[in-house]
Amino acid sequence: MSKPNTRELIESRAEKVASGCWIWRGFVNPTCGYGEVSMNGKKYRVHRLFYEFYNGPFDQTLDVCHTCDNPICVNPAHLWLGTHKDNMADCRAKDRYHYANLTHCKRGHEFTPENTIRNGRSRQLRGCRICNLARNRIKAGWPEDLAYSTPPVKHGYKVVNVKWKRHAVPVTE
């Protein structure tokens, strides 16, 4: 009897279900929800391996996305290649982007234009200005209750145009 190869061992852990998904029955990373295997001391996401098994090598900088939106599905017919931007656009189109629907931060502050910070290159991630200020105050040694209860104070300098020259003047508001 011959020894099964790695591909056969990995494929034997996928169960085909009525929905058309091939459900991964091996280890699932609890943090991200994707199936993983370890080979030669390196971890691999199983859906990426299945895509490569059935479609050949691909650019590893691309995401392997799911049409079925099931992270433990490894059916190659449900997998497609795209950039991270493509994947996020697909997520928003299917109304699965959790953060886009949030109206308040986790401490209860409303996301208004005045209280919203845009983070990241995509400008899609939002942060709460009040919480950000409080985090910085706590890092500077303020007690937590005081850091959150003291209102923000405008300070520093702003640039103003006086005739044809620009000057930095202290903020007095």
Q: Tell me, what's the pLDDT at 124?
A: 56
SS3 for 68-81 is CCCCCECCHHHEEE
Q: Which residues contact 113 (CB under 8 A, 6 or more apart)?
A: none
Domain spans, the chain: 1-97, 102-173
Of all helices (H) and strands (E), which one includes residue 125?
strand 125-128
Task: Please give the CATH number for the structural domain made up of 1-97.
Answer: 3.90.75.20
Q: Which residues contact 127 (CB under 8 A, 6 or more apart)?
A: 105, 116, 117, 118, 119
pLDDT digits 0-9 by tens, 30-84: 988 999 998 888 999 999 999 999 999 999 999 999 999 899 999 999 999 999 9
pLDDT digits 0-9 by tens, 92-101: 788 777 677 7
Confidence of residue 149 (pLDDT cuts 50, 70, 90): confident
> Taking the C-alpha atoms of 98, 103, 107 and 112 in order, what is their torsion angle to the nearest 10 degrees?
130
Closest CA to 33 of 84, 76, 71: 71
Q: Tell me, what's the pLDDT at 102?
A: 81
Q: Tell me, what's the pLDDT at 151?
A: 78
**Alpha-carbon distances of 129 from 12, 101, 106, 141, rounded to whole Å:** 50, 18, 12, 19
Residue 154 predicted with pLDDT over 70: no
